[in-house]
């Protein structure tokens, strides 16, 4: 994953990759939002939502959605 860890979106994306690595079965959209908001309470909710919304677009070789609302890492 190539992302700038000095940015808010970079920090969010890195944390999402950590979560998805810990949960190979995948994580539901709502659970992902809740966990990221808990980790970064000072980040704007729309920024968090936008990062999650664009995961499969920004990282198509690494993240996919096998069903609606479920995010998984490609192995």
Domains in the chain with CATH codes: 8-73 (1.10.10.10)
38: left (phi over 0), alpha (psi -120 to 50) or beta: alpha
- Mean pLDDT computed over 35-62: 96
Distance between CA atoms of 16 and 37, rounded to whole angstroms? 11
Predicted TM-score of the model (pTM):
0.89
**Per-residue DSSP letter, 43:** S
Contact by Cβ (8 Å): 51, 13 = yes
Band (pLDDT 50/70/90 cuts) for residue 2 is low
Alpha-carbon gap, residue 71 to 18, rounded angstroms: 13
CA end-to-end distance (rounded Å), the chain:
14
Higher pLDDT, 6 or 43: 43
């Amino acid at each position: 994953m190539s992302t700038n860890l000095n940015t808010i979106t970079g920090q969010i994306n890195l944390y999402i990759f950590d979560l998805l690595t810990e949960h190979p079965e995948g994580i539901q959209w709502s659970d992902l939002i809740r966990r990221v908001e808990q980790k970064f309470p000072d980040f704007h909710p729309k920024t968090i939502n936008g990062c999650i919304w664009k995961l499969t677009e920004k990282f198509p070789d690494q993240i996919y959605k096998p069903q609606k609302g479920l995010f998984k890492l490609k192995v």
